[in-house]
Amino acid sequence: MVAALVWGLPVHAAQTFVVNSAADGDGACSLNLCTLRMAIEAANAAGGGTIQFSIPPGGAQTIAVGSTTGTALPPITAGNVTIDGTTQPGATAPGVRIDDATGSAQSSGLVLDGQSDTVRGLAITGFHQWGIQVAAGSSGDVIAGNWIGTADGATAAGNAAGGIDVQGPGGDTVGGTGAADRNVVSGNGADGIRVEQSNGNVLTGNWVGLTADGISRLANAGVGRPELTAIATTSLAALPISN
């Protein structure tokens, strides 16, 4: 049975899956072992839920994706899934780094392919495709408080295709009005944030091509926002940008 903090509640209650290992093993979550890969699979199977982190001994942790399985993380296919790296004990945001260990040219860090999913408080680095990709069938997602393309906020550890790619029907939010919602999208091998064939998105409060302190340039190799094909219905308050 999937490990959840809400055992005993009605089956319709949202479940919480706690990642307690920085390993990348596959299988079913248990109280003794639940990797991020296992937690995503469990949340997909449950039709949603919250993925939190409690990886001992605390402090910032790195998950080397593919180090055991040799494959990318599974896409998030369920709706209302939240991955929250700020829950890692003893770590300042971002508390959990997801780094590519596969060398696969097909691998993105996280792929959102459900509805109304949230990714918060992660550093996502080194992938050959995108750091975070919102797939063509997904909408209403929130991407906030992440560092995409840098692990320390000052040096590049970029994703080759770019930082964040937003496709799909739209209604997605990248960033937010508060400092805790700010994405730092910097040091990537191509574009910072790309929006393509998608309407009604809000991009606000992000630092693109800057260090996490907002003082120095940490350019993406492409441009910050190159392909805003739905510019008339996409809010573009994502400043400052330095590329």
Per the structure, the count of domains in the chain is 1
Angle at alpha carbon of residue 238, lines to 202 and 90, rounded to 5°: 90
Angle at alpha carbon of residue 37, lines to 36 and 43, rounded to 5°: 85
Instruction: Note down the domain range covering 151.
Output: 16-237
Q: Tell me, what's the pLDDT at 122? A: 98
* 13-71 per-position pLDDT tens digit: 579 999 999 999 999 999 899 999 999 999 999 999 999 999 999 999 999 998 888 88
Neighbour order of strands in the sheet with 96-100: 61-65, 96-100, 122-125, 147-148, 184-185, 207-208
* 145-198 per-position pLDDT tens digit: 999 999 999 999 999 999 999 998 999 999 999 999 999 999 999 999 999 888
Helix (H) or strand (E) holding 39: helix 36-46
In this predicted structure, the answer to whether residue 79 has a pLDDT above a threshold of 90 is yes
Look at residue 82 and tell me if it is in a domain.
Answer: yes
CA-CA-CA-CA torsion for 124, 128, 132, 136, nearest 10 degrees? -170
Look at residue 10 and tell me if it is in a domain.
Answer: no
Look at residue 106 and tell me if it is in a domain.
Answer: yes
8 Å CB contact between 154 and 218 = yes
* 88-110 per-position pLDDT tens digit: 999 887 999 999 987 666 789 99
* 200-241 per-position pLDDT tens digit: 999 999 999 999 999 999 999 976 544 333 333 344 444 444
Q: Tell me, what's the pLDDT at 70? A: 85
